Amino acid sequence: MVLLVPVPGTSKIHELWAGTKLLVVLGVSVLLTFFPGWVTVGLMLALLVAAARLAHIPRGALPSPRRWIWIVLAVGGITAALGAGSPVVSIAGLHIGLGGTLHFLRVTALSIVLIGLGAMLSWTTNVAEMGPALATLGRPLRWLRIPSDEWAVALALALRAFPMLIEEFQVLYAARRLRPNQTPRSRRARRRQQARDMIDLLTAAIVVTLRRADEMGDAITARGGIGQLSAAPARPKLADWVTLTITVAAGAIGVALDSMIPFQ
């Protein structure tokens, strides 16, 4: 899974304003934090799947879970099942409480929705659009004398540099593994060698990060300063308002239905 790299192509989701996607991610995250009901989580998951279909996200973009993830989920599910609780079902005279298992499944579904929202934002949004969108959304903070433009630029630069740094770290790690090393015989010598390798890797990573930051600073200065990063004519359009309306309506319906259903 490649982080913060948009999937090539165009769609209605790709064409949405970056600020709209940020508002949807923030709003759904806050909603599920305070109202993590079954209906609400299910509706948000349905919207996420529909958005992925509209954005034409290929299956190859989806991450492949490692084996240890399945092991952690299995251990967590078994541990939660031991908590029992209502509802209770009877099988051949044996009463089994499903409360813990259902809570675990709901938390797992909620986690999938939140991770999927972040992934959709990454797959359908160019990192260059983040700075202007954050600057526009943070404009009301200027009344409080908060430097929202500088914060937006800093966050946009961090998001833009993140994929580059990951690639650099992967190259450094591969180079370290290719370097021939003598196999130490004692445990103490192995620990010293691991410590030296870790120090060398961290030093190289810091040097690469500083070099990338210097190159990015020179490029920003040559293009007119940080003001150009937070200035853009993009604004919400009709499709953005429709997206926000659908999200708000789905959230309100989910909360209303969860409040009417006695079982949570």
pLDDT of residue 1: 46
Give me the sign of the Cα torsion angle 35, 38, 43, 44.
positive
pLDDT of residue 89: 62
Tell me the pTM: 0.76
Tell me: pLDDT of 30 over 90. Answer: yes
Read off the pLDDT band of 29 (50, 70, 90). Answer: very high
pLDDT of residue 249: 95
- Provide, rounded to the nearest whole percent, the portion of the chain with pLDDT above 70: 85
Instruction: Identify the residue whose tokens are 């034409």.
Output: 56
> How many residues in the chain?
264
Average pLDDT on 115-121 reads: 90
Give me the sign of the Cα torsion angle 259, 262, 263, 264.
positive
pLDDT tens profile 249-259: 999 999 999 88
Read off the pLDDT band of 161 (50, 70, 90). Answer: confident
Lowest pLDDT segment from 52-61, 189-198, 210-219, 230-239? 230-239
Lowest pLDDT segment from 43-47, 195-199, 256-260? 195-199
Instruction: Identify the residue whose tokens are 């309306």.
Output: 245
Average pLDDT on 210-236 reads: 71
Output the average pLDDT for the chain.
Answer: 81
Lowest pLDDT segment from 176-180, 218-222, 223-227, 245-249? 223-227
Contacts of 214 (CB under 8 A, 6+ apart): none
| Cβ 237 vs Cβ 17: under 8 Å | yes
pLDDT of residue 242: 94
Domain boundaries, the chain: 1-125+234-264, 149-232
Average pLDDT on 230-259 reads: 86
